[in-house]
Amino acid sequence: GVSFTGAQLRRNESSSFSSFLSCCVFYSPSSSGVWSAQALEMSVGKIPFLQAVNGSTVMLPCTYSSCIGIKNLYFNWQFNDNGTMQKVCESTIASEEVEPNVNVLRERVEFVGKNHHNNISILLWNITFEDGGQYTCFGRNPKEKDKNHSAIFTLIVVDELRVVDNTLTIMIASAVGGAIALLMGFMLLKNFTLFVISKLEEKNKECLVTSSGIDNTENGLSGSKADSKPTPKKK
């Protein structure tokens, strides 16, 4: 047999417990005062609603997940008919990736998930206004001491899909774009004007320096012909 030291056992237990913590989410203590973990989760996606046209075919999405796996997972779809929950379909899944034999209890319903990648979605054919409302995807996992979870998906049936009027958005975007273009044009004109003024100032400075040199020569200042002394007369 294989033997382990006390330190090895402690490390293995610690590793397993850490993996369990990273996988399962702990909830408040149960009535017995013992912490319990509900790993089973049903999900209908990030957008839990759909708007569809009367007479079309739609899919109601649902997947399940469990960090410790499933065994004989029971699931069903239910429709909220004015406060009365009516079963749409139900089945039991023996284990992961095993396609269940689904009992469909409502017309124009097809099970399309096939349990591939934990998918238990259903399809509604030729929907009517009476099909609009809330659908609940429910699951219960005996492997987790019959822990259960559910998720709600809302179907909205309309005559026709409305086209979003983007006129106001386009007008606002055009106004903002025009303002930005005007501001950029003003900044370019300002920079060009400052550049021209700086060049003119440099030219004026050059003219002043040249003019000052000419005036000094004419007034007989240092460096001009007026500074030269007359030739002394011979005695």
Convert the pLDDT of each residue in 190-213 to its tens digit: 888 888 888 888 777 776 666 666
Residue 17 has pLDDT above 50, yes or no: no
| Predicted TM-score of the model (pTM) | 0.58
Q: How far is CA 20 from CA 34, 37, 224, in A?
A: 16, 10, 102
Tokens at residue 129, please? 């206004």
Average of pLDDT values for 113-128? 97
Confidence band (pLDDT; 50, 70, 90) for 30? Answer: very low
Mean pLDDT of 27-52: 73
Q: Please name the residue ranges forming H helices in 125-166.
A: none
Whether 221 has a pLDDT exceeding 80, the answer reads no
State the average pLDDT for the chain.
80
Question: Taking Cα atoms as reference points, which of 73, 77, 65 lies closest to residue 122?
Answer: 77
Residues of the chain with pLDDT > 70, as a percent, come to 69
Q: Give the pLDDT band (50/70/90) at residue 12.
A: very low
**Cβ atoms of 151 and 77 closer than 8 Å:** no
Q: Name the band, by pLDDT with cuts 50, 70 and 90, for residue 165.
A: low
**In the chain, domain spans:** 40-158, 167-210
DSSP structural state of residue 18? H
Q: What does the pLDDT read at residue 155?
A: 98
Mean pLDDT to the nearest integer, 91-102: 96
**113 in Cβ contact with 62 (< 8 Å):** yes
- Buried b or exposed e, range 135-145, using 16+ CB within 10 angstroms: bbbbbbbebbe
- Average pLDDT, integer, range 27-42: 59
Q: How far is CA 201 from CA 191, 192, 195, 206, in A?
A: 15, 14, 10, 9
pLDDT greater than 70 at residue 178: yes
What is residue 15's three-state secondary structure? helix
Question: Is the separation of the CB atoms in 112 and 102 below 8 Å?
Answer: no
Instruction: Give the pLDDT confidence score for residue 232 in this predicted structure.
Output: 60
Residue 27 pLDDT = 46
CA torsion through residues 45, 47, 48, 54, sign: negative
Q: What CATH architecture does domain 40-158 belong to?
A: Sandwich (2.60)
Q: Which residue has the higher pLDDT, 145 or 183?
A: 145
> In this model, does residue 172 exceed pLDDT 70?
yes
pLDDT band for position 79 (50/70/90)? very high
Of 19-23, 134-138, 210-214, 228-232, the range with the lowest mean pLDDT is 19-23
Confidence category of residue 164, pLDDT binned at 50, 70, 90: low
* 55-68: average pLDDT: 97
Helix, strand and coil content of the chain, in percent to the nearest 5, comes to 35, 30, 35
Calculate mean pLDDT across residues 175-183. 83
Instruction: Say how far apart CA 99 and CA 32 lie, in whole Å.
Output: 37
Q: What is the pLDDT of residues 144-159, one digit of tens each?
A: 999 999 999 999 999 9
